[in-house]
Amino acid sequence: MEKTAASNFLETIIAEDIAAGRVQTVVTRFPPEPNGYLHLGHAKSICVNFGLAERFGGRCNLRFDDTNPEKESQEFIDSIQADVRWLGYTWDGEVRFASSYFQQLYDWAVYLVEQGHAYVCDLNAEQAREYRGTLTEPGRNSPHRDRDVAQNLDLLARMKAGEFAEGEKVLRAKIDMASPNMNMRDPILYRIRKVAHHQTGSDWVIYPTYDFAHGQEDAIEGVTHSICTLEFEDHRPLYDWFIAHLPLASRPRQYEFGRLNPSYTVTSKRKLKQLVDDAVVAGWDDPRMPTIAGMRRRGYTPSAIRKFCQMIGTTRSDGVVDVAMLEFAIREDLNENAPRAMCVLNPLKVVLTDYPEGKVEKLAAASHPSRTDLGERMLPFTRELYIDADDFREEANKKYKRLVLGKRVRLRNAYVIEAVDVVKDPSGAVLEVHARTIPDTIGNDPADGIKPKGVIQWVSATEGRQATVRLYDRLFNHESPDKGERDFMTHINPASLQVVQGAWIEPSLCNALPEQGFQFEREGYFVADRLDHSEQAPVFNRTIGLRDSWAEHGGSGE
């Protein structure tokens, strides 16, 4: 798979605005609602908004559009800030909140009423739907649409004072109930919500809708390019209507790009919440989740995620992106940067009968085959070792390049050994292999000219340490789990997590820092779990395999 940087039409727009003098300083913003954890799609938006600001020497604001206090919390605010920082971006100035502008937004609502552009409506939700019309039939004017300005101002003030119950009244813009764009059919500006807000407490009992707040927040902050995903395209006429009808010092413009829809993934907040609530996963940061917190815990790197977003480009069309492109970016990044180490997942003991008992030989091994700056680590070599059970057979054909009884194999960064005998249990299963070392074969071929058939990993049985290794794979076994008639939960991959409790690792891996990644040779890329790993109880998560085994095995996974 080639790594390419796809086109970004937004760069062209901004460059033209600067060249024409329409914009002096580029200001963008990333405006998440603090009602959940960010996912891969949000990572794309972060990269687009912050990346454009960096590209043109401008500024990007982090603003929480916190207009719906019922679903918002400080937990989400904190996690979103951590995600943006982890991806490597810094927002301009302090974190901003829509709630900081509530008084100004209310004053602008009063202005629209005074200008005859907004009115208080008493229709309940069911009546409002009936009056709104359909995609093929125009709506009808509310019976309250022609209230005079004084009455509307009085009712709005009483809404703000808390005199009315939730749902009893709303403030609506007076635009066009016959518009073919449903968003322009007298949209709601304010609803009554008698809920405490995480930033403003009980100061407000009416809250602006996102559509009303969005453009005005951009104007307050001097945003020049308000960049949204494509589902907001039909909202742009409303965005522009508010900008045109309010006395704003700044006139931002909205642009839309295609959202990121990765295969084998769901990104709906509702569906992700269901996975958590139904305990399909262990939380929002479960390494199988497409949340930024989950990808971070799995060992994905910020640079790889940013590279992936660059590879897929920023276009004007929606489409499904093969998640293998993300996995390619992860593999490429880790291949270049992850230190090497050895881990035996399915241990089989090897006893070197000619090697002295109690002897511990320290063997130097490069931490990376092409990165001398990563230095070396020391491997303790002893009489008793563990190799992977799949790396030994009593008999095998010539295609088998591992240890066979009576044949030789090289232990990675160590000696060539030759299997001479096996010890079995009463059922005939092999318990341990007895072997001998071939002298002077560290870095050399055997003097007798009989070369080993292959190279396998190993860990000292006396100096190594046991670890818990979690083998993560794709959470879904269907390319489009939330499409079609079947419930997306029926596409859960039953092999998305396998836990190996008795793996053996190099002793140096116990000192790995949380979130430190490694290539376990011949096994894949792994990371020390950021929460559970410790020197006393090492825990590693598989980030990804060495190869795309889904493609190799027709979608059957690792």
Catalytic residues: 33, 259, 269
CA nearest 492: which of 482, 505, 502, 507? 482
| Strand pairing category for 170-173 and 118-121 | antiparallel
The beta-strand segments (E) located in 353-491 are 361-366, 376-381, 384-388, 392-393, 403-404, 408-411, 416-424, 430-438, 455-456, 459-460, 465-472
216 CA to centre of own chain: 30
Asked whether 324 and 353 are in contact (CB, 8 A), the reply is: no
CA distance 537 to 509: 11
Q: Please give the C-alpha separations between residue 333 and each of 101, 130, 184, 410, in angstroms, as whole numbers.
A: 42, 55, 47, 28
Torsion of CA 28, 33, 34, 40, to 10 degrees: -80
Q: Please give the C-alpha separations between residue 401 and each of 351, 398, 407, 408, 454, in angstroms, as whole numbers.
A: 20, 7, 10, 9, 5
Burial 3-36 (b: 16+ CB within 10 A, else e): eeeeebebeebbeebbeeeebeebbbbbbbbbbb
Give the position of tokens 């002077």.
440
SS3 state of residue 234: helix
CA distance 273 to 279: 10
Token readout for 335 is 């291949």
Residue ranges of alpha helices (H) inside 179-221 are: 210-221
Identify the helix (H) or strand (E) that includes residue 343: strand 343-344
CA nearest 283: which of 295, 296, 294? 294
CA distance 367 to 372: 8
Q: Is the dihedral of CA 325, 329, 334, 335 positive or negative?
A: positive
Token readout for 311 is 């590879």
Asked whether 530 and 303 are in contact (CB, 8 A), the reply is: no
